[in-house]
Amino acid sequence: MTPGERCPRCGAANQCAQAGREQPVEQCWCFTATIDPAVLPPLPQDPLAQACLCPRCAMGLARPAADAHD
């Protein structure tokens, strides 16, 4: 799995339809998702700009992994 396919918060697969594709996709789970703002502040901005959160982290359900940012 590439870094773009991993959630920057927990390290799980982010299920991003765009990850690894050069052309834009028309459908992805995140296009209609409501992202819990509480999960964003503790994340480093660099990884967040390069990879999507997974659905569980986006909803604030998953716990952050200790080494997800290494």
pLDDT digit string (tens) for 6-56?
888 888 999 988 887 888 889 999 888 888 788 777 776 665 567 888 998
**Does residue 49 lie within any of the structural domains?**
yes
**Does residue 2 lie within any of the structural domains?**
yes
**Does residue 69 lie within any of the structural domains?**
no
State how far the Cα of 62 lies from the Cα of 6, in Å rounded to an integer.
Answer: 14
Q: Residue 51's domain spans which residues? A: 1-64
**Does residue 39 lie within any of the structural domains?**
yes
Domain total for the chain? Answer: 1
Q: What is the pTM of this model?
A: 0.69
**Does residue 37 lie within any of the structural domains?**
yes
Q: Are 24 and 18 in contact (CB under 8 A)?
A: yes
pLDDT at 69: 46
pLDDT at 52: 86
Burial zone of 9 (CB within 10 Å; 0-12 exposed, 13-18 middle, 19+ buried):
buried
Residue 66 has pLDDT above 60, yes or no: no
**Does residue 70 lie within any of the structural domains?**
no
pLDDT at 62: 62
**Does residue 43 lie within any of the structural domains?**
yes
